[in-house]
């Protein structure tokens, strides 16, 4: 089967300016929230990525009119409330489809959403989402792999959102969206504090919801009768920004990143600075990242926001492969999210996995090789390694990368990278 892949000739130092797109993980739940709204929702800075296309297809099936304008603007209008089913075919492709559960239940009083399975980064249960829906008053059963949910009415409650790995981002989004139209007050304790949850709450408030405390572990939602549409701009993608920061650092380059919120990246920038990478905010608003040849080894532990994001773990691992000494990376959100380890080792890295931890023994250089992308962020890490490696790297299965990075290869080329998108049979 012919599939797209990247061919990268490592070496060029990246230089120039790059603009980060809107955040995929904020855009997806906000798009789903359009189900709750009467009237038109206009979203700006919606990234042009495959996951947004997949969710648009699902929303169209659910009776939402979705129109994309060329400039990153999406217009959504919920018209037809008949179909409330998100089928396996779409959920299998994109787990984030689960974020239609809360809006469907709240607005249409019923939902049938295929139960997401595991994925390359782990088991990824949705038990906390389901617990929250039940506590708000929904009846839930599992029928042939589908979550079938009904609710005559939803009632506000105090709901604990914690689980064995902390809170849940999309679970908090689902509970918050459902609670907007519930009767009375809902309090979400140990809610996720991620900027994408805050962005969703800000959007919902703009639509007439009454949410306070977002950005803290205690979110309070006063139910309202209905939500209207609004015009809203999605926050910049902190993970894309972080990925370009590593691209600058790993090539000893100097890159200015535009549309970048440093307050969303404090833990990441703290680690970059400890490695010896310079990160400077420009008076005009951009962030300039530059690096000398010497990289210090550091320890990294992923945590819920404001801790170090799991979605940048693979990328910083690629950078630490070239540090002068040993680093330790511990994954506290998805303990199995390490499929990139074996691929980086194919490029000459010295990585040893021990449970949820990887010991990174820095090497002098990486060497180009054919490698296989396993998930979105692992793909980005392999591209970053390829940019620094001696020789040619072929990154197969980049459809994973296209799910979450808009025109990644074009943006890298504009900074001077030698990266081409090609198509062909898989070679390993």
Whole-number Å distance between alpha carbons of 167 and 192: 5
CB closer to ligand EPU, 126 vs 322? 126
Return the structure tokens found at 389: 């490696």
> Residue 128 interacts with ligand EPU (CB under 6 A)?
yes
321-346 residues labelled b (16+ CB within 10 A) or e (exposed): bbbeeebebbbbbbbebbebbebbbb
Beta sheet of 254-258, edge-to-edge order: 15-19, 254-258, 287-290, 278-281
The answer to whether the beta carbons of residues 330 and 302 sit under 8 Å apart is yes
User: Considering 37, 84, 99, 119, which one is annotated as catalytic?
Assistant: 119
Applying CB under 6 A, the span of 80-88, 126-134, 208-216, 394-402 interacting with ligand EPU comes to 126-134
* Residue 119: active-site member: yes
Contact with ligand EPU (CB under 6 A): which of 107, 340, 377, 400?
Answer: 377
- Which residues between 163 and 222 bind ligand EPU (CB under 6 A)? 163-165, 168-171, 196
305-310 contacts: CB < 8 A, separation 24 or more?
305/192, 305/193, 305/194, 305/195, 306/193, 306/266, 306/267, 307/267, 308/267, 308/268, 308/271, 309/238, 309/239, 309/242, 309/267, 309/268, 310/334, 310/337
Whole-number Å distance between alpha carbons of 105 and 150: 7
CB of 168 to ligand EPU, least distance (A): 3
CB of 29 to ligand EPU, least distance (A): 7
Omega cis (within 30) before 89: no
Applying CB under 6 A, the span of 42-50, 123-131, 134-142, 381-389 interacting with ligand EPU comes to 123-131
- Residue 332 gets which letter from DSSP? S
- Which residues between 1 and 60 bind ligand EPU (CB under 6 A)? 25, 28
Return the structure tokens found at 319: 């950078």
The CA radius of gyration of the chain, in Å to the nearest whole number, is 21
Which positions from 256 to 295 touch ligand EPU by CB under 6 A, shown as an x/- string? Answer: ----------------------------------------
Contact with ligand EPU (CB under 6 A): which of 376, 385, 387, 419?
Answer: 376
Contact with ligand EPU (CB under 6 A): which of 103, 318, 404, 409?
Answer: 404
Pairing verdict, β 418-424 and 326-330: unpaired
- Which residues between 288 and 347 bind ligand EPU (CB under 6 A)? 310-311, 333-334
Contact with ligand EPU (CB under 6 A): which of 13, 107, 129, 411?
Answer: 129
Which positions from 69 to 98 touch ligand EPU by CB under 6 A, shown as an x/- string? Answer: ---------------------------x--
End-to-end distance of the chain based on CA atoms, in angstroms? 14
For ligand EPU (CB under 6 A), the number of binding residues is 25
Q: What residues are labeled active site?
A: 119
Please report, as ranges, the residues that interact with ligand EPU according to CB under 6 A. Answer: 25, 28, 96, 122, 124-129, 163-165, 168-171, 196, 310-311, 333-334, 376-377, 404
């Amino acid at each position: 089967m012919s599939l797209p892949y990247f061919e990268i000739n490592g070496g060029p130092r990246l230089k120039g300016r790059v603009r980060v797109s809107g955040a995929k993980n904020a855009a997806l739940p906000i798009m789903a929230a359009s189900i709750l709204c009467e009237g038109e929702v206009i979203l700006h800075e919606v990234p042009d990525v495959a996951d947004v296309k997949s969710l648009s297809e699902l929303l169209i099936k659910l009776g939402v009119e979705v129109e994309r304008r060329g400039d990153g603007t999406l217009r959504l209008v919920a018209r037809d409330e008949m179909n409330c089913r998100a089928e396996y075919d779409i959920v299998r492709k994109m787990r984030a489809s689960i974020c239609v559960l809360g809006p469907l239940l709240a607005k249409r009083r019923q939902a049938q959403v295929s139960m997401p399975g595991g994925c390359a980064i782990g088991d990824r249960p949705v038990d906390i989402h389901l617990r929250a829906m039940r506590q708000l008053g929904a009846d839930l059963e599992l029928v042939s792999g589908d979550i079938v949910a009904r609710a005559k009415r939803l009632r506000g409650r105090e709901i604990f959102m914690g689980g064995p790995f902390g809170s849940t981002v999309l679970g908090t989004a689902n509970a918050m969206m459902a609670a907007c139209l519930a009767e009375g007050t809902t309090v979400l304790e140990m809610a996720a504090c991620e900027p994408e949850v805050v962005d969703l709450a800000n959007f919902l408030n703009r639509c007439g919801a009454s949410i306070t405390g977002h950005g803290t572990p205690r979110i309070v939602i006063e139910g309202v009768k209905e939500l209207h549409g609004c015009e809203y701009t999605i926050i910049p993608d902190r993970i894309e920004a972080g990925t370009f920061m590593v691209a600058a650092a790993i090539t000893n380059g100097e890159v200015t990143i535009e549309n970048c919120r440093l307050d969303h990246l404090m833990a990441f920038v703290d680690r970059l600075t400890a490695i010896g990478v310079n990160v400077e905010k420009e008076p005009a608003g951009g962030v300039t990242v530059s690096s000398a040849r010497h990289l210090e080894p550091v320890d990294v532990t992923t945590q819920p926001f404001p801790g170090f994001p799991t979605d940048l773990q693979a990328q910083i691992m690629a950078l630490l492969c070239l540090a002068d000494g040993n680093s330790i990376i511990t994954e506290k959100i998805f303990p199995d999210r390490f499929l990139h380890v074996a691929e980086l080792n194919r490029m000459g890295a010295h990585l040893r996995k021990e449970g949820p931890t990887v010991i990174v023994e820095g090497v002098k250089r990486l060497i180009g090789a054919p490698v296989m992308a396993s998930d979105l962020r692992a793909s980005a890490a392999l591209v970053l390694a390829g940019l620094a490696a001696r020789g040619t790297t072929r990154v197969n299965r980049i459809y994973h990368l296209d799910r979450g990075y808009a025109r990644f290869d074009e943006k890298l080329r504009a900074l001077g990278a030698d990266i081409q998108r090609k198509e062909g049979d898989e070679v390993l």
